[in-house]
Amino acid sequence: MAKKKRYIRNESLYNTVQENEFLNFFDYVRHISWIISNEKVGRKKMRDTITCLLIWHKFPNFSARRAKSFLLLLKKFKIINANIPCFKTLCNYRAEPIIGNILDELITESSKPLSQIENDFATDMTGIKTKLFSSWFSLRCKKRIRKRDHLNVHISIGTKTLIVTAINVENKQGKDNIIMRKHVDKTAENFKINEWSGDGMYWAKDNCRKVSEKGGKPYFKCKTGKTRWNGKKSGCLSWKEMNQEAIEDKDEYDKHYHKRSKVESANHSKKALFGDKVYSKLKEARENEETLRWINYNINVLNRANYEWGINPLSED
């Protein structure tokens, strides 16, 4: 059997990025923790808490007790300078809804340094396993089967660097288009939008209108068959132009649309590095746990950006 051809990459650059991941990780954690806690009440305590939570979730299989042991080791060797709380206190903080608001800000802060090179974006949703099981499936089907619960994670990324600019972690399905439009608004606060792509789930006039309002051009998977575009303008110019281009110049349209495939790469990368499941039982804790891992994913992207594009997030200090 012929060996699968591997894509060409800069091996020297790849090695440099990997070798310096942990050397830069703690500097980036200190940096974004300082930014987000600078205007908070009790900012020293908040900064220490965020630092401990981020380092804990850098490692997908660490229990709370082992995480505290590792944090104490880092402090002993003066790698971090933070007060290490009890493992139970860390778990309690992770379950606080207010922490979720701070983590959303951290996603924004960790993506800002790449605003100078990111102009094209894409949105998609992926599933994350939990350790919980629902009983309704067994009751309805009268079978002794348990269906594992999942989280639905909606992310929007820059297609050049794969940096996450907005994220929503939901316990239920639905509201995909509403979430996508919120992501456009949030991304537009710090980035200039040229293109926005997505699969057939986002093929809607309101989505096209929102992207065009922010100065971008939509590229969504246009449906075929009985549900295809009927050729009418219907009050949304960007909707009409998108569907016309998909029909009249399909090859060129697909070059732009298929940038959305980069979202799949981001999902795979995050799951490979930081795990594809969450262990918390409480709703808010599950959402915060998953968001913490995506912040660490963004920190990894910043590490790569430092060497590949010469963008150092610490230069803003």
DSSP string, 41-70: TTHHHHHHHHHHHHHHTTSTT--HHHHHHH
Q: Is-contact 32 105, C-beta < 8 A? A: no
Q: Are strands 217-220 and 195-198 parallel, antiparallel or unpaired?
A: parallel
Model confidence over 62-104: pLDDT tens digits? Answer: 999 999 999 999 999 999 998 999 999 999 999 998 888 999 9
Q: Residue 149 has what pLDDT? A: 78
Q: For the chain, what is the mean pLDDT?
A: 88
Model confidence over 244-260: pLDDT tens digits? Answer: 999 899 999 999 999 99
Q: Residue 228 has what pLDDT? A: 76
Q: Residue 61 has what pLDDT? A: 86
Mean pLDDT of 213-235: 82
Q: Residue 32 has what pLDDT? A: 85
User: Is pLDDT of 210 > 90?
Assistant: yes
What three-state secondary structure class fits 174? coil
Q: How far apart are CA 30 and CA 26, in angstroms?
A: 6
> Which of residues 234 and 179 earns the better pLDDT score?
179
CA-CA-CA-CA torsion sign (63, 127, 257, 237): negative
Confidence of residue 44 (pLDDT cuts 50, 70, 90): confident
Q: Residue 47 has what pLDDT? A: 87
Q: Residue 41 has what pLDDT? A: 45
- 272 Ramachandran zone, left/alpha/beta (phi>0; psi -120 to 50): alpha
How far is CA 302 from each of CA 57, 258, 268, 292, rounded to the nearest angstrom? 17, 24, 18, 15
Instruction: Give 104-165 as a DSSP string.
Output: HHHHHHHHGGGTTT--EEEEEEEEEEEEEEESHHHHHHTSS--EEEEEEEEEEEETTT--EE
User: Is pLDDT of 305 > 50?
Assistant: yes
Q: How many residues does the chain have?
A: 317
Crossing angle for the helix pair 43-56 and 64-76, nearest 10 degrees? 110
Residue 5: CA count within 13 A, CB half-sphere: 2
User: Is pLDDT of 138 > 60?
Assistant: no
pTM: 0.91
